[in-house]
Copies of this chain bind each other. A is one copy, B any other.
Amino acid sequence: MLKGKPLLILTLCFAMVFISMANARAGDPLPSWNDGKTKQAIVDFVSKVTKEGGPDFVPVSDRIATFDNDGTMWSEKPMYIHFEGVFDRFKELVKEKPELAEKEPFKSLMAKDYAYFTAMLEKKDYLEIVGNLLGVPYAGMTVDEYNKWNKDFYATWKHSKYKVGYQNLIYQPMVELIKYLQSNDFKVYICTADEVSFLQLFSEDLYGIPPEMVMGTSIKLKYEMDGNDAVIKRTAEGQYLNNWDGKPRQIMSLLGKKPILAAGNTNGDYYMLEWVAKSKGPGLALMVYHTDAEREDKYDEHIDKTLPMMKKEGGVVIDMKLDWKTIFPAANR
């Protein structure tokens, strides 16, 4: 029988174990978020949809969340990170074959005169734009060659202002939010206007989201025999533009379900956010509002439709400056 000092030690040990367990349970899943209305709205939403027997309970199979990427998960200024590689590849091609500089879309891009593209935009030839911008520079590459090119390029690329790589340009509070949702049995997808094949290369490392849970813009692929090998090659043709109403349409087509949570930041996310904000059942629409000139950026471009809609439909606007304790992952900077 234990008594005296040994009993005391054992009791203390148990007490310490229990305290540490209680702390872990009470641990803040969103430490980079300041306390306030926004954080509370997120926590309240997750609590109510996961509360079994509650009026807003959502079964695990329907806990779907979709997150935009540029400006929602990582910095999008001064240029979409995806386009850094794309434009570099255009330059690389012109260097290899100078005669390309006289041909479109190379000519417009080299001259930074975008009339060639704005004409397509006016005619709503969106897939023409996708093909010209994302297809042409890598056309004829196998998917493996494309993957290697991008991995190589981004391994050394640095942001012009922050002088850091892409891994250091993600928003720590949003990564925490994704982990928090996943730990509450949400299936979290990225739904981006970037090319899907591009972001699939990095999503697992950046956000803990596997490539098969990335939805994006796509270009047509081609299956062919290369000698005795079966390969998949890229073409110059656009296949799908995952922006504006293309987001909810692709989500419904691929998942067969409507998300109960969506996050975005600009007019490109308008329809995805409106769709979720207008849910009859529980639905949380989040918009990252870039209000922090000091720590990141402050801008109101391309939000003139989305910001008022969010306010009207009860969406939650994340005010970067007020709501985020830290912006970028501390360990990386």
A254 to B256, CA, bound (A): 15
A253 to B228, CA, bound (A): 22
Q: Does A151 contact B (CB under 8 A)?
A: no
Distance in Å: Cβ of A27 to nearest Cβ of chain B: 27
Tally of this chain's copies: 2
A204 to B256, CA, bound (A): 12
Q: Does A187 contact B (CB under 8 A)?
A: yes
A212 to B252, CA, bound (A): 9
Task: Select A278's contact among B196, B228, B255, beta carbons within 8 Å.
Answer: B228
Q: Does A182 contact B (CB under 8 A)?
A: no
Contacts of A211 in B (CB 8 A): 255-257
**When A223-B271, A252-B232 are in contact, do A257 and B212 touch as well, CB less than 8 Å?**
yes
Number of chain A residues close to chain B: CB under 8 A: 37
Contact B249 A232 (CB under 8 A): yes
Distance in Å: Cβ of A120 to nearest Cβ of chain B: 20
A275 to B280, CA, bound (A): 44
Scan residues 31-78 of chain A and give those whose CB is less than 8 A from a CB of chain B: 61, 64
Contact B223 A245 (CB under 8 A): yes
A212 to B189, CA, bound (A): 11
Distance in Å: Cβ of A217 to nearest Cβ of chain B: 11
Contact B248 A223 (CB under 8 A): yes
> Who on chain B is nearest to A244 by CB?
B223
Contact A278 B229 (CB under 8 A): yes
Contact A210 B61 (CB under 8 A): yes
Q: Does A143 contact B (CB under 8 A)?
A: yes
Scan residues 188-242 of chain A and give those whose CB is less than 8 A from a CB of chain B: 196-197, 200-201, 204, 210-212, 214, 218, 220-223, 228-230, 232, 239
- Closest A-B pairs by Cβ, 6 of them: A200-B256, A211-B256, A223-B245, A212-B255, A221-B249, A230-B278
Q: List 5 A-B contacts (CB under 8 A).
A: A200-B256, A220-B249, A223-B248, A223-B275, A229-B280
